[in-house]
Amino acid sequence: MADPQSSNVKVIQPHDPAVDRRVIYECNFSVDQSVVPEFAAYLRQHMREIVELDGGKLFDRATLCIAEHEGQHDGDRYHLCARYRARSRFRLQEYFDKAGDRLRRDMLEKWAGRFEVQRRILVIDSVIEAGGESMAIEA
């Protein structure tokens, strides 16, 4: 955690709306090479659907990345990382409760056996920007 005593560090208290914006839901996909173009196109549309759920009240952004793995050669697999920025941890839970199972099931039915996914939730501790102020989230 950033030192609140250092210069240019803004300490954010728990339950501050700024803290709630700092939740990322990450899905790491390992996809069969034979279906990558179709899967990636599907995933982009899937991500748009998630971001637009409930009029955009659950998530404000999604980013799709190609994951590179140094020193690993996995010739028959392609790795993608989908990151969703939830408006709060509460809103992420709303997604899980209302739409998560249905959307996961849809993906599994369409692409069964051709991808694997690992999911995790990231709560950002600090944000450091070049030339800007840093933020530390106080526990």
79 and 106 housed in the same domain:
yes
Count of the separate structural domains present in the chain: 2
Residue of 54 and 10 predicted with greater confidence: 54
12 and 29 housed in the same domain:
no
Task: Give the domain range for residue 36.
Answer: 23-123
Q: Global pTM?
A: 0.78
The predicted pLDDT at position 130 comes to: 84
- Read off the CATH number of the domain in which 36 is found: 3.30.70.100
17 and 40 housed in the same domain:
no
42 and 59 housed in the same domain:
yes
Q: What is the pLDDT of residues 103-117, one digit of tens each?
A: 999 999 999 999 999
55 and 8 housed in the same domain:
no
72 and 130 housed in the same domain:
no
Taking CB atoms within 8 Å and a gap of at least 24, the contacts of 49-56 are 49/103, 50/84, 50/95, 50/99, 50/103, 51/84, 53/95, 53/98, 53/99, 54/94, 54/98
82 and 137 housed in the same domain:
no
